[in-house]
Structure 1
């Protein structure tokens, strides 16, 4: 979708049920490219975006947790 809309910055899908939010900080890439994409900037940009969106939607204090990648072969 981001490609079709020519989005140049990070974007992500949010899933929200009541006060439970989930979002991805990664996207689908070949397993051989995973290591080169694991950088502080590539992880922090989406985390900051997710926090900003939550604040804009009235979530004052969030408790965040993160999980590992799920590689697609």
Structure 2
């Protein structure tokens, strides 16, 4: 688990260390707080898990897009 966490942190720093990530994190937290009761009634998952899942999906998309741009020489 520790190795996976270190790997994810490295990818996060390499691909997602910018203002867009900060905005996505803040917006995700606001949605989880504002719609917390509604989300809790619809799904039996923990809201913290939901927030972490959203961040994981976001990092995966950014990582894929960075690789896509690097292989095609887009900057």
| TM-score under structure 2 length normalisation | 0.29
User: Relative contact order (C-alpha < 8 Å, sep 6+): which is higher?
Assistant: 2
Structure with more of its chain in helix, by fraction: 2
Which one has the largest radius of gyration?
Answer: 2
Structure with more of its chain in strand, by fraction: 1
| TM-score under structure 1 length normalisation | 0.30
